[in-house]
Amino acid sequence: MEPGDAARLGPGRAARALPPRLLLLPLLPLLLGRGLRAAAAASSGAAAEDSSAMEELATEKEAEESHRQDSVSLLTFILLLTLTILTIWLFKHRRVRFLHETGLAMIYGLIVGVILRYGTPATSGHDKSLSCTQEDRAFSTLLVNVSGKFFEYTLKGEISPGKINSVEQNDMLRKVTFDPEVFFNILLPPIIFHAGYSLKKRHFFRNLGSILAYAFLGTAVSCFIIGNLMYGVVKLMKIVGQLSDKFYYTDCLFFGAIISATDPVTVLAIFNELHADVDLYALLFGESVLNDAVAIVLSSSIVAYQPAGLNTHAFDAAAFFKSVGIFLGIFSGSFTMGAVTGVVTALVTKFTKLHCFPLLETALFFLMSWSTFLLAEACGFTGVVAVLFCGITQAHYTYNNLSVESRSRTKQLFEVLHFLAENFIFSYMGLALFTFQKHVFSPVFIIGAFVAIFLGRAAHIYPLSFFLNLGRRHKIGWNFQHMMMFSGLRGAMAFALAIRDTASYARQMMFTTTLLIVFFTVWIIGGGTTPMLSWLNIRVGVDPDQDPPPNNDSFQVLQGDGPDSARGNRTKQESAWLFRLWYSFDHNYLKPILTHSGPPLTTTLPAWCGLLARCLTSPQVYDNQEPLREEDSDFILTEGDLTLTYGDSTVTANGSSGSHTASTSLEGSRRTKSSSEEVLDRALGTGDQPVSSRGTRLVFPLEDNA
Amino acid sequence: MEPGDAARLGPGRAARALPPRLLLLPLLPLLLGRGLRAAAAASSGAAAEDSSAMEELATEKEAEESHRQDSVSLLTFILLLTLTILTIWLFKHRRVRFLHETGLAMIYGLIVGVILRYGTPATSGHDKSLSCTQEDRAFSTLLVNVSGKFFEYTLKGEISPGKINSVEQNDMLRKVTFDPEVFFNILLPPIIFHAGYSLKKRHFFRNLGSILAYAFLGTAVSCFIIGNLMYGVVKLMKIVGQLSDKFYYTDCLFFGAIISATDPVTVLAIFNELHADVDLYALLFGESVLNDAVAIVLSSSIVAYQPAGLNTHAFDAAAFFKSVGIFLGIFSGSFTMGAVTGVVTALVTKFTKLHCFPLLETALFFLMSWSTFLLAEACGFTGVVAVLFCGITQAHYTYNNLSVESRSRTKQLFEVLHFLAENFIFSYMGLALFTFQKHVFSPVFIIGAFVAIFLGRAAHIYPLSFFLNLGRRHKIGWNFQHMMMFSGLRGAMAFALAIRDTASYARQMMFTTTLLIVFFTVWIIGGGTTPMLSWLNIRVGVDPDQDPPPNNDSFQVLQGDGPDSARGNRTKQESAWLFRLWYSFDHNYLKPILTHSGPPLTTTLPAWCGLLARCLTSPQVYDNQEPLREEDSDFILTEGDLTLTYGDSTVTANGSSGSHTASTSLEGSRRTKSSSEEVLDRALGTGDQPVSSRGTRLVFPLEDNA
């Protein structure tokens, strides 16, 4: 109890330290309420000789009442979701596409929010409060001696002195307000895991370089541009006298980070429904999935930026590099955690015969994926980011080891969880617009933010696409760029990041603005997707497994169209080199170790690890040289496609004269190939036509695995 | 803040009022910890001019550390479950049957419990405590003014004065201890719903009367016998001087109620695996599912028994009838809630074309089933009981309206949830034996309890079976009775009821005893099931759709074997009358209204509700007079089977000369029939053989639906 280690904050800053409102997790009082009730009931049953039965009864009644209210508030959300489901069924049934289920969930949330805000009486809370004003340290646990009995209390948070009365004002509004960490620890993980697990792998990996560029560089660019523009807006507001409290440059950058997480959920749903161009889908989806992760880590890094010394809001190189270090550390740590859990799951499912018992397999899969989150949190990394990479690893390796039943089980399980969580968040957003009691509506800031995100998105998409096109074989056309520009919606992640901390004035203004941006983009942009698609002449009704038509743009780049030609080739060479390295490593070592597919390790590993190779290679590989399944064939098909487009020749139809493995039976209707050598050989012109003569050598240099 | 409405408890009883230990829900601090951390980080980022940055950092570190520990403790449970899954796979793989997964989960839990108890240092908690000794009322929310800042605290529970120091003793033990309401509000609902949803309906309804008798009468008998025996044991302990605190008669009855909930999970798993006799399976499963519900409501009613006046532990008729009223009220209320939600779901899935979108359908099904729980809790009934009846209703009606994909989705979803929850509870039980810090081991009480549950089970199975056999057509043979006697295991429900309140000495002793009873019965009895099955000559390898062989015992009853004959006939007649009434109501009205099957309502409803009937009847019924699916045909097959056995003739093979509907195509390999009239006609001898001549008339009196 030394005052030395106390968390002493200046009284003037009380409002910023912790969320001043009592943010309740509805599930929790549900638990505690019942506990109190049962205990009270039990004690009153046994406490015959006590005269205070009436008082106990009062406590019991109060606890029961509180529990009932919690149930009602949770029930409200469930009914909201039920209503959303039924309405969205009607929309789907009638093929109405202008409003997505998330937009609908927000509307219903809004309506219920209005009813709760204006329709329920502002009852004073059942909880009375007690002030004891003698200590100067806030502990997380408090023991209170009440006439000989000791009661234990836990810290909920700090309250600003002015809010003490308003906290108790409306019970119903309080009950429907969640602890913001619910979003991060309960609702986001299934959404993010599902995104990782359902990445359309083939097209995702084909566009991996561009996706990474958009997600990392693009998000950083967008964050800094939005941050700086908003700082200008804030300066302007100060001059005009519209700003009533502090708003630092780091706050502006933080806003840039949270609002840079795009979530084109409605656009992608329409893409999926209309079977729009798969490459554009992969670019948009991949970018939005990865930039969620980038935005989380970026915002933590910005929060961690604390310059030393007196001038604490000037630029400090040391603090800056510390922030960059934190960014890299958290990101790579979370990535590693996710990948490691995925790999462990893959190994377990490979080396046990768990696939005979789909229930056990599914349960294991679920537990391992959940443990990623906890492991990352326990190690101080970011659980949500780890879960994303775990999802990708599970899809890439573990999925191939699962039994057919478990595949559909796991997919469906996470699909349902994702659906419920996503619609829950969006209906909560609608509700929050009216039930959240500390909104700071600043028209200047809001208009500035809309302009800033527009400019930020433009400054991110067009220049990056230009540079990417220099190195890409399939150029990202103007219509694709416009569509990506248009699809910069904001969604669940921006909301979750914004609501996480609403203690200060600046954060409250950010939260309100984020909410409005999400509403606007989801409704207006979501509704405009179908017209936009046809206006931009983007192909719809594409079979996802079909190849894109030969794109003339690629020749343009190949044959060199200006001074950029040499540089373009270098970029291409580099990305191809990186890609090839990873691909051959994955195909020759990782896939054979972690799954039942790929070439036997005995052929790919050096001779001196023969024993190890035999242990790790699964018997299936020897038995049938198992053809890769459709799901496995992402890399190979990708390269096949590239070859086809590149050389402008029909290599795939030529058969495989240079094939090492007996794979004639595989040249059927399904375009699957069994080993990398085959594809590489073809690409290298061992087929009928010397494809390599037209520059494919840059893409597939000869592999020397004897 | 009037002291008048304060919950004043005598200081001597402090230990009983609320659980004295800080029972933590691991998820919750996970949320709050992050909240504190983020907020602290945010505030420290913005609080440059404040000099207390170091102190904030300390708080932040502490919150982070706490969050990390929570993640680690949850991770412990996940690893435990993973280990259990892998080991149980090994056992299943090697066909080891002596240990069920739940038994294994307990063993692993035990091991981890030992490690946590003796392997971790008894660190003092990070939370310091603060005493303020000036008020005499414990509020659920506390505002503490710490040098100008206000902190909000919530009530955790009361602590007995002697335990104040020990509460803080071992952080790790505290972290792995759950709020007992987690079991009731999170873990039990999916288990119970799954039980209801997966009742093998055909055999369940065939034995409905007996199951209800065992579940209601049997549990009541068992509860009172165990309660009275234990009261004797307690008296004995008082004489011997083994009892150090109060132990009332109501406590004994409460113990009887919680320990009467059987859970033959291991026995049923073996039955399922070996395809043991389906009727015995239905009897055991049905009894255990329903007596869980009975035990919950019974224990609440016993707690609510509060005699008025001075002599508070004597018998009080008014209080007794009030308890009975509470029992009936809660039970029927919960039943109604469950049935209503199920019926609403059935109507929604019938009248919308939601089945085109299995994801929406599954999500709706999940939400509606969850809302049952909340609805019942909000209305003051018991959520777990409501969920059970909701599950049965969903299985009976809604399931038939679902798309094929949703059927498997919902089944698999709840199967996984059930599996995880069940194994979680059992591994928690293992853990609790060592980490729970207030065990009261009383050898006399424990031995007494074992004897009492044995006698209670015997007094419940044998006499009830005798009376049931008087009215049953398939007699419950001696071997079945012995097997039911043997299968009286105790499991998750007994544990959840016992841990719900461990405030008083008596309740702690009960909890310890319950834990040991669960351990003993799950391990020993679970392991002995296979030998017992063969020793009792119970059929295994039965096709669930196959009919049991004609049972000679039924003739014994039919032809009258003593003075009981008349009475037996009466019982039979009554149950048949009730059964027939329900069956025809269900088949003629409920099924056509709630599902797409059954006869058109236009034929079963009176003419004046023709419009309503046309609206409610689905077009499918007219189109194809859709044959009932296998899942639907429980009642009909039941009666068909009865007819077969009863009349000792092969009615089913005779075709359906008296059939009203054109159902010749249905007489194929699947024994489905399309309408009740057909079956009734057959039963009434309109078939080739006059079956009714041998007493079947009692079972199926002529139905006059013209």
Say which of B30, B42, B368 has its CB closest to residue A503: B42
**Band of pLDDT at residue A123, cut at 50, 70 and 90:** low
Burial label, B606 (beta-carbon count in 10 A; 0-12, 13-18, 19+)? exposed
**Distances in whole angstroms, Cα of residue A107 to Cα of each of A73, A431, A433, A657:** 18, 9, 11, 61
Kindly state the average pLDDT of the residues A264-289. Answer: 85
Residue B45: per-residue pLDDT? 39
The answer for residues whose C-beta is within 8 angstroms of residue B703's C-beta and 6 or more apart is B584, B676, B677, B680
Residue A456: per-residue pLDDT? 93
In the chain, the amino acid numbered A55 is: E
Residue B9: per-residue pLDDT? 31
Kindly state the average pLDDT of the residues A92-105. Answer: 81
Does the distance separating the beta carbons of B39 and A9 come in below 8 Å? no
Compute the distance between CA of residue A147 and CA of residue B134 in angstroms, rounded to an integer: 8
The answer for residues whose C-beta is within 8 angstroms of residue A57's C-beta and 6 or more apart is A44
Does the distance separating the beta carbons of A5 and B47 come in below 8 Å? no
Residue B407: per-residue pLDDT? 92
Query: Which is more confident, B666 or B301?
Result: B301
Compute the distance between CA of residue A79 and CA of residue A513 in angstroms, rounded to an integer: 28
Residue A454 C-alpha, separation from nearest chain B C-alpha, in angstroms: 27
Lowest mean pLDDT among A293-297, B408-412, B535-539: B535-539
Lowest mean pLDDT among A248-252, A701-705, B163-167: A701-705
Evaluate if residue B3 carries a pLDDT over 60: no
> Which residues of chain A lie closer than 8 angstroms to B68, CB-CB?
377-380
Say which of B5, B10, B366 has its CB closest to residue A416: B366
Does the distance separating the beta carbons of A8 and B348 come in below 8 Å? no
Residue A153: per-residue pLDDT? 59
Lowest mean pLDDT among A46-50, A125-129, A606-610, A697-701: A697-701
Write down the mean pLDDT value for chain A.
Answer: 71
Query: Which is more confident, B535 or A19?
Result: B535
**Distances in whole angstroms, Cα of residue A265 to Cα of each of A11, A139, A272, B567:** 43, 42, 10, 69
Write down the mean pLDDT value for chain B.
Answer: 71
Structure tokens at B341: 């939600």
pLDDT digits (tens, 9 = 90+) for B60-83: 677 777 778 888 888 888 888 988
Which domains are delineated in chain B?
180-307+328-536 (1.20.1530.20)
**Band of pLDDT at residue B31, cut at 50, 70 and 90:** very low
Residue B47: per-residue pLDDT? 39
Residue A559: per-residue pLDDT? 34
- Whether pTM > 0.90 for this model: the answer is no
Evaluate if residue B285 carries a pLDDT over 80: yes
Compute the distance between CA of residue B316 and CA of residue B320 in angstroms, rounded to an integer: 6
Q: Is B632's Cβ below 8 Å from some Cβ in A? A: no
Kindly state the average pLDDT of the residues B353-373. Answer: 91
Does the distance separating the beta carbons of A140 and B62 come in below 8 Å? yes
Evaluate if residue A178 carries a pLDDT over 90: no
**In the block, residue with structure tokens 């646990």:** A141
pLDDT digits (tens, 9 = 90+) for B93-121: 887 777 888 888 899 999 988 888 887 76
Query: Which is more confident, B697 or B141?
Result: B141
Question: Which residue from B608, B523, B441 is spatially nearest to B267, judged by alpha carbons?
Answer: B523
pLDDT digits (tens, 9 = 90+) for A648-678: 333 333 333 333 333 333 333 333 333 444 4
Query: Which is more confident, B426 or A35?
Result: B426
**Band of pLDDT at residue B232, cut at 50, 70 and 90:** very high
Question: Which residue from A342, A353, A341, A408 is spatially nearest to A620, judged by alpha carbons?
Answer: A353
Contact A471, A571 (CB under 8 A): yes
Compute the distance between CA of residue B621 and CA of residue B92 in angstroms, rounded to an integer: 45
How big is the A-B interface in CB pairs under 8 Å? 490
Residue B577: per-residue pLDDT? 65
Does the distance separating the beta carbons of B415 and A44 come in below 8 Å? no
Kindly state the average pLDDT of the residues B555-560. Answer: 33
Residue B371: per-residue pLDDT? 92
Compute the distance between CA of residue B261 and CA of residue B256 in angstroms, rounded to an integer: 9
- Chain B contacts in chain A segment 14-73 (CB below 8 A): 14, 16-19, 22-23, 25, 27-28, 30-32, 34-36, 38-50, 52-53, 55-56, 58-59, 62-64, 66-68, 71-72
Say which of B41, B127, B160 has its CB closest to residue A303: B41
Residue A539 C-alpha, separation from nearest chain B C-alpha, in angstroms: 25
Q: Is B581's Cβ below 8 Å from some Cβ in A? A: no
**Band of pLDDT at residue B590, cut at 50, 70 and 90:** confident
Write out the H or E segment, with its range, that includes residue B149.
Answer: strand B149-159
Looking at the DSSP bridge assignments, the partners of residue B152 are A157, B143
> Which residues of chain B lie closer than 8 angstroms to A150, CB-CB?
14, 131, 158-161, 164
Evaluate if residue A573 carries a pLDDT over 60: no
Evaluate if residue A25 carries a pLDDT over 70: no
What Rg, from alpha-carbon coordinates, does chain A have? Answer: 29
Residue A172: per-residue pLDDT? 64
Does the distance separating the beta carbons of A56 and B313 come in below 8 Å? no
pLDDT digits (tens, 9 = 90+) for B160-183: 544 444 444 456 676 677 778 788
pLDDT digits (tens, 9 = 90+) for A430-455: 988 888 878 888 899 999 999 999 99
Does the distance separating the beta carbons of B153 and A164 come in below 8 Å? no
